[in-house]
Amino acid sequence: MDLNYSSDELAFRDEVRGWLAAKLPDDLRDKVETYAELTRDDLMRWHRLLAAKGWVAPAWEQRWGGTGWTAVQRNIFEEECGAAGAPPIVLFGLHMCGPVLQRFGTEAQKQRFLPPMYKGEEFWCQGYSEPGSGSDLASLKTRAERRGDKYIVNGQKTWTTLGHFADWIFCLVRTDPAAKKQEGISFLLIDMKTPGITVRPLMLMDGMHHVNEIFFDDVEVPAENLVHEENKGWTVAKYLLGHERMSAGRTGVLKRELAKLKDFAARQPGSGGQTILADTHFREKLTRVEVEIMALELTNLRFLDAMRRTGQPPGADVSMLKIKGTEIQQTLTELMMQAADPADLHWQGVLAHRYCNMRKVTIYGGSNEVQRNIIAKATLGL
């Protein structure tokens, strides 16, 4: 096992760092650093800058704009973007639906959807979770009935992140209610402008509008928008979720947030004229989370080394990255709250919003409890 970067990989890292230092707009970096809300225009401006460079979809097939980078190079790129304070790339199109279409889509679907997805001309969201069907996704009830050359969709999706920005939604729908849970599901692409779709905001604890509930009332979807085979959508869903969880560690972001926490804690007034860093218990927590980030980074490198040697994607144990990465995100926000000066109402408000928002990260992408079950069954054989 080799957890070190090669000289070529180090040179690539320097190239990425140099480009980010020169091209990442200051106003976008500042928004990320101060936890300000990113608008659709902010997200798509960064998307288009990366697309113009040819770096927006590294994992795609080169025919459709992929870079041809190795798994290690893709990881370096993601980590450097996180460390630099770049806005996130919205995952739903580029990292989820795009790979699905390249793997399961028809040639017509690829020609129609991949170019505008790459260029940032269409914004995508994900229609998976429903009331009562979150972690147990296979119990979903949104119904799609085939009528001639159309599907008629009725039902509800919930917790739809950035659905109010979206032009398109990819949805899991039930096309055979008589089949076993996983066997009667299909994967549809739906235009959000279609009559019968209603998007309602769900305001979260932090007071922000990030997620939505979406209602489908006799929504007509062309049958040509079915991806893969009817009633075989669970195969597509599992493929998609594998892409989501590999990028859940986000050690570049975590290291940047840790450095910010240390600097923040060193500047906040505490009791007796000392900062909170004089508190033994706080320093212990800070040290523990730093060690956890180091361990997470090494675990991520171990997965990458295996991919570099075998050329195969990681197995179910990649869920470890999702579990620890999201738990560390929450710990960092908790320590920032502890470090903040109670008299500084501005930062108290900003950090309280962020603390509330981070409660969701151990749930999305499959809750951490579900991830532990996956590891227990698939990796440990329990």
Catalytic residues: 244
The candidate with the shortest Cα–Cα distance to 189, out of 122, 118, 91, is 122
Determine phi and psi for 217, rounding to 5 degrees: -120, 100
Which residues have a Cβ under 8 Å from the Cβ of 183 and sit 6 or more positions away?
176, 231, 234
Distance CA 335, CA 321 (A): 21
Q: How far apart are CA 352 and CA 274, in angstroms?
A: 23
Residue 349: both structure tokens together:
């408000």
Instruction: Say how many C-beta atoms besides its own lie within 10 A of residue 261's C-beta.
Output: 20
Q: Is the dihedral of CA 306, 308, 309, 310 positive or negative?
A: positive
Distance CA 100, CA 93 (A): 10
- Whole-angstrom distance, CA of residue 228 vs CA of residue 232: 7
Asked if 120 and 193 count as a contact pair (C-beta separation under 8 A), the reply is: no
Q: Which residue has the tokens 């940047």?
A: 256
Q: What is the DSSP letter of 164?
A: G
Kindly report the CA angle at 89 between 49 and 353, in degrees rounded to 5?
120
CA pair distance 194, 133, nearest whole angstrom: 24
Non-local (6+) Cβ contacts of 303 within 8 A are 246, 314, 318, 321
Q: How far apart are CA 217 and CA 344, in angstroms?
A: 48
In whole angstroms, give the CA distance from residue 119 to residue 105. Answer: 19
Cα-flanking dihedrals φ and ψ of residue 127, to 5°? -110, 80
Beta pairing, strands 168-174 & 124-127: parallel
Q: Answer for the pair 327, 362: CB distance below 8 angstroms, yes or no.
A: yes
